[in-house]
Chains A and B, each alone.
Chain A
Amino acid sequence: MKKALGVGVLVLLFAATAMAADTIKLGGMFPLSGRAADLGITCRQGAELAVKEINAKGGVLGKKLELLSADDKANVQEGVSLAKRYIQKDGVNFLFGVVSSAGSLAVGEVAKQEKVIFMDTVASTDTLTKEKWNRYTFRVGTCNSQEANSLALYAAKNKKLVKFYNIGPDYEYGRTMWELFKAKTKEQNPKAEFIGEQWPKLFIPDYTSYINAILSAKPDAVFCTLWGGDLVAFIKQAKPYGVFDKMKWVIATGGDITVAKALGKEMPKGLIVDQRYYFHWPNSKRNQAFVKAYTADYKDYPSAWAAEGYDGVYFLAEAIRKAGSLDTEKVVAALEGLTLELPRGKATLRKEDHQLSSDFMVGETVFDKAYPFAIVGKSEVFHADKVLYSIEEWKKAQAANK
């Protein structure tokens, strides 16, 4: 068969695998096309900035960091394929990135099989560091618990909110967030009722029917987990109905700067939102320096995804330095319990479950003269121990994890 002959030639041409250059390689997997491209591209940009800064100071252990980047198309199978390629062909030292939760679970498995460290940046499913935890997977972004619980605690301050409705994308993220939110809300306010749910398919273009359903249910508050472009479309379509005045909205990642910029002045005020990182909070030197450097390079304020990419590289760099070597087991040990001063504030990679533990800020959408888009104000900060799942919970989940 001619096919085999052709392949044979190609194989021989590429048979000599490249000798590992004297760099520390990070195999980055980001969605660079499609609906989540914004998240992937900014995440990569944050990571690239960190690589640039660290290399400018001489790198780590005398070697430069190198970030390889490829489009995983937010597709689980592509992610797996890429991860294996990075390990088997490019000989990367670390797997990095991933936005889709399902994708992160799959890459986590590859990391476990190949015994290569995977630093997850954006994918936020608790499962990655809880039910499907493995030794080689770390997450430098926040996870669903932190987000859902903080939102629930913030909303619970308003005792008038009793009847809750949900609208979220129909996949694990949406459903898990609702479950977490319900549990925490009920805990804070035993009188709370959950009167309905809507699960639009991810990425549908038109939400008007769902908006009608919400209107006729007349809830006090709506918990919304639509994100990115979906959230923008939803808000644009919902606004004429006056829903944002008629009820209180609690929107996960509603403070996303990409959403705020896309909506501009159209963003409704007073929405209870969070973001996983804010360019305007905390007002620390570290944060300001990061924002300044990012803005200089990319002509834009850093999004949460950018910050998570940035943080991921810094954690790895620091851990390698601490371990004094690239040996996987040593770096794992160095990462566990590592605390860094990051743009988001002081944060620790927990020893047991490898999940980032940090303060989480929730607030409401407000307009500030300094910016042409809405930011988050009237904020409240929640400490990790209040919102992140406990180690006891984690240990229980490990019983079933093999």
Chain B
Amino acid sequence: MDLSFLTVQVLSALRQAAFLFLISSGLTLVFGVLNILNFAHGALYMLGAYFIYWLTLYLVGPGGFLLALLAAPLGVALIAAVLEMGLLRRIYIQEEIYQLLLTYALVLIIDDLAKIVFGPEFKSVPKPDFVSGSVTLFGGTVPVYTLLVVVLAPAVAALLWYLLYKTKTGKVVRATSSDREMADALGINMSALFTLVFAFGAILAGLGGALAGPVRTVFPGVGTEVIIECFVVVVIGGLGNLWGALIGSILIGALETIGIIVFPEFEMALIYLLMVAVLVVRPWGLFGRPLKIKALSEKNLEMEAQEISPVHFSVHPAVRWAPLLLLLLVPLVAGRFYQYLLTQIFVASLMAIAFNLLLGMTGLLSFGQAAFFGVGAYAVGLLVTKAGFGTLPALLLSPAVAAAAAAVIGFFCVRLSGVHFAMLTLAFGQLIYAVVFKWYGFTGGDNGIQGIPVKPIAVAGLAGIDIGSTKEMYYFVLVVVGLSVEILRRIRSSPFGATLKSIRENGQRASYLGVNVKLYQWTAFVVAGAFTGLAGGLYALMEKSISPEIIHWTKSAEPVLMTIIGGIYTFVGPAVGAVVYIILNSYLVAWTEKWALVLGLVLLTLVLLLPGGVVGFVNEKARQIFGKLRCIRRWSFSKSTTS
């Protein structure tokens, strides 16, 4: 390895790290103070790129590059400030997971607006001549732009350090980052500080985008690609820690550069392997601090109270069985498409309800359920196409395989909590995605498995039950999902379920009572994984087509969204959310090209107006109405629970 090669490689890694640092630093700063993992940070990056494009094309020309480089981030900061003051502020009091939904909705909206304003084609930002050429360094060719980036990033880092450690505002920011409440009680203007920090984070993201514009392509949605990498950097480095962002960026930059040479085949998965490795050894990241367990006073207990529905359903079998009866009658009145849509809803509901066993019941946010969904789906797909299994045996094995995967993954994940838990599940999910994507010979690679045959189910003695048609599949899925949901409901109201709830409330206190918290969490994880795998198996049979996409984190996000939409603390919430989401998605996509904008706006409205999700809202209204109707009052809980 000669010096020129080394020089070029080192500078490549540093360039990569530089871009990552610029964007990640903003992300970690915002998390430290506002406690939000801002999904829309990538969209701000994209805006930075678009702004510099627009500025150099229409206002200042390529010569004004440096001016545009300074102006673009400021424009992004302005938009960010408006977003924070207008939208984010309203949801600070809500559960953190609502902030996730809000920032996700913002991504949809901002990306689509960018498409509408700038067009869908990828744009290329012209580079001014003085940064276009290359120089020779130790015999290696180095583009001037690389030098620009590699010099600018540490300069920004130094500036950040100065601001945070040597100015009073910086110290206030650091103080607030470690203890928000205390800062508030000491008279520090939280509203202004939040806006300031959010806008500052946006400046960094915008600068990253503006700097990236001339050397990368700009298109609507470009932010989604960088945001996951930034999440990894921030988690590895330690949430809220700027040094962590710096070291993390360098690590990832180096890893990607080395990985291309040493492990080209598995390069896709390397950053996730690194994250797994770091989190297993240092659960809070390299420089991170354990996130504080939320005190009772800091939790939004209003939402949890909605768990208690105003009418006790199990008292009235008619109320419980009526929906099932209605669903059985659907194929008699509705066409194939509606049966198909409902089948999709059933499968998604099962996945979401299983997911909520972790979130709503145990307090664990898993961002990797798609891995088990995919494992179950591929189990069925592979067993049926390659091993000639029958439909039912393959389906019965899918939850078993998924449970096995969950057992292994869960073992590592339950050692963490909160955001770190979520990120580790995401990492494992992406690892499985990479394996399935690359293993062309076995899994079909990115083509997936198409045309999965659905053989009739052999029932002892009788002829096979055919479930190939839309209607037959509808009933089959309805029965399987119905049984699964019933089992999950019983788990929820069992002593096991009660223990999970206590862990969610206050894990530490539960452990003082002798509960083996980790074991319970792990068990919940495995159970959730099993049912998610079953949902995947049903999916494979229903669609007869599977591909690695169903393992990608974007699929993992679906049960999260559905549960938040429907209501985290109720049992049917996730199912209601599944109905809303799938119907919205299906009809919006067919109705308009701007479906992302509309979907984003709907989700935004939901977050702002319906804390507690759809079911929570309905429960509240029902409680109010029932409270007024004397005749029903005796069936309902007449007064709120008091401790």
Contact = CB atoms under 8 A, between A and B. Distances in A.
A-B complex is real: yes
B447 interface: yes
Given A33-B115, A76-B545, A205 B9 contact: no
Nearest to B8: A212
A15 B575 contact: no
Nearest to A261: B121
A239 B593 CA distance: 36
A85 to B, nearest CB: 6
B592 to A, nearest CB: 9
Interface string B570-595: 00100110010001001001100101
Interface centre among A7, A77, A112 (most CB of B within 10 A): A7
Interface in B523-581: 543-547, 549-550, 572, 575-576, 579
Contacts of A158: none
* Ranked 3 nearest A-B pairs via Cβ: A4-B323, A240-B143, A89-B337
Interface centre among B112, B141, B320 (most CB of A within 10 A): B141
B323 A77 contact: no
B450 A33 contact: no
A262 B124 contact: yes
Nearest to B313: A1
Interface stretch (A141-149, A181-189, A229-237, A381-389): A229-237
B342 interface: yes
A38 B121 contact: yes
B447 A199 contact: no
Given A3-B579, A201-B267, A262-B122, 6 more contacts: A1-B323, A1-B572, A2-B615, A14-B338, A206-B216, A209-B16
Contact of B221 (A34, A69, A215): A34
B572 A12 contact: no
Interface stretch (B97-105, B253-261, B625-633): B253-261
Contacts, number: 240
A200 B19 CA distance: 18
Contacts of A171: 437, 445-446
A325 interface: no
B470 A2 contact: no
B456 interface: no
Contact of B595 (A71, A228, A258): A71
Interface centre among B133, B217, B448, B590 (most CB of A within 10 A): B217
A123 to B, nearest CB: 11
A215 B112 CA distance: 39
B333 interface: yes
A232 B217 CA distance: 7
Contacts of B451: 109, 112-113, 132
Interface centre among B13, B16, B450 (most CB of A within 10 A): B450
Interface string B342-353: 101100010000
A78 B543 CA distance: 11
Interface residues of A, number: 84
A37 B215 contact: no
A109 B576 contact: no
B145 interface: yes
Contacts of B601: none
Nearest to A1: B323
B219 interface: yes
Nearest to B9: A212
Nearest to B122: A229
Interface stretch (B185-193, B241-249, B324-332, B496-504): B324-332
A274 to B, nearest CB: 20
A88 B337 contact: yes
Interface of B: 5, 8-9, 12-13, 15-16, 19, 111-112, 115, 120-124, 126-127, 132-134, 141, 143-146, 212, 214-217, 219-222, 225-226, 256-257, 260-261, 264-265, 267-268, 320, 322-324, 326-327, 330, 333-338, 340, 342, 344-345, 349, 437-438, 440, 445-448, 450-451, 470, 543-547, 549-550, 572, 575-576, 579, 583, 586, 589-590, 593, 595-596, 615, 618
Contacts of B590: 68, 70, 82, 85
A6 interface: yes
Given A171-B445, A229-B217, A262-B122, A105 B450 contact: yes
Given A106-B450, A199-B264, A113 B579 contact: no
B545 A88 contact: no
A209 B9 contact: yes
Contacts of B589: 70-71, 78, 82
B576 A208 contact: no
Nearest to B451: A109
Contact of A38 (B122, B256, B322, B446): B122
A119 B320 CA distance: 47
A35 B260 contact: no
A41 B256 contact: no
Contacts of B16: 206, 208-209
B120 A229 contact: no
Contacts of B121: 37-38, 258, 261-262
A10 interface: yes
B122 to A, nearest CB: 4
Contacts of A241: 134, 141, 143
Contacts of B261: 209, 213
Nearest to A237: B215
Interface of A: 1-8, 10-12, 14-15, 17, 32-35, 37-38, 41, 68-71, 75-78, 80-82, 84-85, 88-89, 101-102, 105-106, 108-110, 112-113, 125, 127, 132, 170-172, 175, 197-201, 203-206, 208-210, 212-213, 215-216, 228-230, 232-233, 236-237, 240-242, 258, 261-264, 266
B120 A37 contact: yes
A112 B453 CA distance: 12
Given A209-B256, A212-B5, A33 B335 contact: no
Contacts of A70: 589-590
Nearest to B470: A88
B141 A215 contact: yes
A262 B345 contact: no
Nearest to B224: A34
A229 B589 CA distance: 24
Contact of B112 (A33, A69, A106, A108): A33
A6 B327 CA distance: 11
A106 B448 contact: yes
A14 B327 contact: no
B450 A209 contact: no
Contacts of B13: 209
6 contacts: A11-B334, A11-B338, A85-B340, A105-B450, A106-B450, A216-B5
B333 A32 contact: no
Contacts of A77: 543, 545-547, 549-550
A80 B124 contact: no
Interface centre among B222, B265, B337, B546 (most CB of A within 10 A): B337
Given A3-B576, A236-B124, A208 B146 contact: yes
Interface centre among A3, A7, A197 (most CB of B within 10 A): A3
A374 to B, nearest CB: 13
A94 to B, nearest CB: 17
Contacts of A1: 320, 323, 572, 575
A12 B549 CA distance: 33
Nearest to B570: A2
B12 A208 contact: yes
Contacts of A3: 323, 349, 572, 575-576, 579
B132 A240 contact: yes
A262 B260 contact: no
Contacts of A201: 267-268
Nearest to A35: B219
B120 A205 contact: no
Given A37-B115, A75-B549, A213-B261, A233 B216 contact: yes
A7 B345 CA distance: 10
Contacts of B545: 76-77, 80, 106, 109-110
A77 B589 CA distance: 14
Contacts of B335: 15, 17, 88-89
Given A15-B333, A15-B334, A102-B547, A109 B132 contact: no
